[in-house]
């Protein structure tokens, strides 16, 4: 039987994000990194020695002695329990909290922090519990090349931090996933010195709007004009608007052309509920302010149908187009010509690259792509020596500012409020200790009740 001293029963706690050790600035996030009928987990047999550079240091931690465990499931439904090397653990959840410098291996990949294991539909879910700043070290280089300028990397770090902070939910079994469905997270092996430096330089910084994390959507390339959230998803956010994006240029998909067989067009149209008989034409009949289709009219031998709003863009993407700023011509094949890649809402990564190469810092990058927002810090982070800059109105268009202009001066007259409670999340995320959430990492022999691997 697994010892109850260190097992965390997730049904009550939801594996809530906890404060790591004594640091009041830590925010842990829970990342679903693996799910399978059986997982192999390798954990330290004793607490790892602290990183001499600190947990946010650039060096990888010194490997500690570890033991491998095969985690499976016995039983089914409400009677299901986790097994460890074939032995019944006595419960549906196990949790090894993160400790200073701790490293775990889950399903063959190495991650900083701790690990949670739970049963979901007779599968074992492996959840990496990791400090948000260490989490970003496996995200930023996976989302943006580490060879890009520091300002672009810093902007990516801030929006990645904002994204995950907004998703922290103690009532859920985990906060985010490790794939493109959330943010790509590749763990310790993905870490790069340049992206680590950008994360450290922007420590705890987040984009805020109305006292909460902003929705910091981003895509690869806006195609020269960002899309509004209203036209893409039908949700109007004032800081996600359509605007010219002249610095988003030079990407591998700045201009492209694809040809789609008529049979494919008909099949995709059917998935969108369009049944008009043999196709005769497909045309863009209404454009959004960003130049993306707001309406596509499809004609056939049996009538006419229209796809509007988000469905119009979804139809184009389902045909294999990299982006939705397109024109349509022909029928068999249907020729789709366009520019850009991704949905086009929020930050354009190639636009961030262009702005950084022009000498602008990450505050200007964020101010351009999220106008009307402010820069704030996660609750519990060290106090700032000066007010957080307001990004509202920094850019109404691309002005002729000096290279490396200081955005803080532009926002000094209207400081963003110091946000507390981690944007209204429960106090545990803002530094209020909870005994059942903040226990230090225990030796694996205690966690697994002394069972030998």
CA distance readout (Å), 326 to 33, 87, 261, 343, 348: 35, 57, 17, 12, 17
Torsion 220-393-310-156 (CA) sign: positive
- Look at residue 100 in the predicted model and tell me its pLDDT: 87
Res 379 pLDDT > 50: yes
Report pTM.
Answer: 0.76
pLDDT bucket at 152, cuts 50 / 70 / 90: very high
Contact 37, 191 (CB under 8 A): no
Give the side-chain half-sphere CA count within 13 A for 158. Answer: 29
Q: pLDDT (tens digit, 9 = 90+) per residue, 20-37? A: 222 334 689 999 999 999
Indicate if the pLDDT at residue 405 is higher than 80: no
| Residue 372: pLDDT band with limits 50, 70, 90 | very high
Cα 275 to chain center, whole Å? 37
Task: Check if the beta carbon of residue 32 is closer than 8 Å to that of residue 178.
Answer: yes
Are 285 and 297 contacting, i.e. CB atoms less than 8 angstroms apart?
yes
**What integer best gives the mean pLDDT of the chain?**
79
- Residue-wise pLDDT tens digits, 189-228: 999 999 999 999 999 999 999 989 999 999 999 999 999 9
Q: Are strands 39-44 and 66-74 parallel, antiparallel or unpaired?
A: antiparallel
Q: How does pLDDT run across 42-79, given as a tens digit for each residue?
A: 987 765 444 433 444 445 555 557 789 999 999 998 89
Angle of the 362-369 helix axis to the 150-167 helix axis, nearest 10 = 50
Give the Cα separation of 395 and 372 in Å (integer).
9
| Percent over 90 (pLDDT), the chain | 67
DSSP states of 280-336 as a string?
EEEEEEEE-TTS-EEEEEEEETTEEEEEETHHHHHHHHHTT-SBS-EEEEESTTEEE
Q: Residue 20: which of 88, 113, 128 has the closest Cα? A: 113
* Spatial contact of 172 and 336, defined as CB atoms under 8 Å apart: no
- DSSP for 167-233 reads H--TTSS-SEESSTTS-----GGG--HHHHHHHHHTTTEEEEETTEE----EESB-TTEEBPHHHHH
């Amino acid at each position: 039987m697994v010892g109850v001293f260190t097992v965390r029963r997730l049904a009550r706690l939801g594996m809530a994000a906890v404060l790591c050790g004594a640091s009041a600035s830590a925010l842990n996030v829970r990342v679903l990194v693996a799910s399978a009928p059986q997982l192999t987990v390798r954990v330290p047999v004793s607490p790892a020695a602290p990183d001499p550079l600190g947990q946010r240091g650039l060096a990888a931690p010194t490997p500690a002695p570890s033991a491998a465990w095969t985690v499976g499931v016995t039983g089914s439904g409400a009677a299901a329990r986790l097994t460890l090397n074939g032995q019944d653990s006595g419960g549906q959840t196990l949790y090894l909290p993160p400790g200073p410098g701790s490293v775990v291996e889950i399903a063959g990949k190495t991650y900083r922090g701790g690990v949670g294991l739970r049963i979901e539909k007779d599968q074992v879910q492996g959840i990496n519990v990791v400090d948000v700043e260490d989490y970003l070290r496996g995200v930023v280089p996976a989302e943006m090349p580490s060879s890009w300028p520091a300002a672009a990397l810093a902007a990516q770090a801030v929006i990645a931090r904002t994204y995950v902070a907004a998703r922290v939910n103690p009532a859920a079994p985990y906060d985010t996933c490790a794939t493109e469905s959330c943010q790509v997270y590749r763990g310790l092996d993905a870490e790069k010195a340049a992206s680590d430096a950008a994360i450290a330089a922007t420590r705890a910084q987040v984009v805020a709007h109305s006292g909460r994390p902003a929705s910091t959507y981003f895509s690869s390339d806006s195609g020269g004009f960002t899309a509004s959230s209203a036209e893409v998803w039908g949700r109007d956010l004032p800081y996600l608007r359509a605007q010219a994006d002249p610095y988003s240029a030079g990407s591998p998909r700045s201009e492209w052309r694809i040809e789609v067989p008529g049979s494919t067009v008909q099949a995709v149209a059917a998935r969108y509920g369009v049944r008009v008989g043999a196709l005769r034409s497909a045309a863009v009949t209404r454009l959004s302010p960003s130049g993306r289709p707001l309406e596509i009219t499809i004609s056939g031998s049996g009538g006419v149908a229209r796809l509007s709003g988000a469905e119009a863009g979804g139809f184009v993407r389902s045909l294999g187009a990299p982006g939705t700023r397109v024109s349509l011509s022909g029928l068999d094949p249907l020729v789709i010509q366009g520019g850009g890649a991704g949905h086009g809402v929020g930050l354009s990564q190639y636009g961030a690259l262009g702005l950084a190469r022009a000498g602008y810092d990450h505050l200007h990058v964020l101010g351009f792509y999220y106008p009307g927002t402010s820069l704030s810090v996660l609750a519990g982070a060290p106090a700032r020596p000066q007010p957080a800059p307001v990004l509202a109105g920094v850019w109404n268009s691309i002005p002729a500012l000096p290279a490396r202009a200081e955005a803080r001066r532009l926002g000094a007259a209207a400081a963003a409020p110091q946000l507390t409670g981690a944007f209204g999340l429960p106090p545990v995320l803002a530094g209020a200790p909870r005994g059942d959430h903040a226990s230090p990492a225990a030796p694996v022999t205690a966690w697994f009740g002394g069972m030998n691997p």
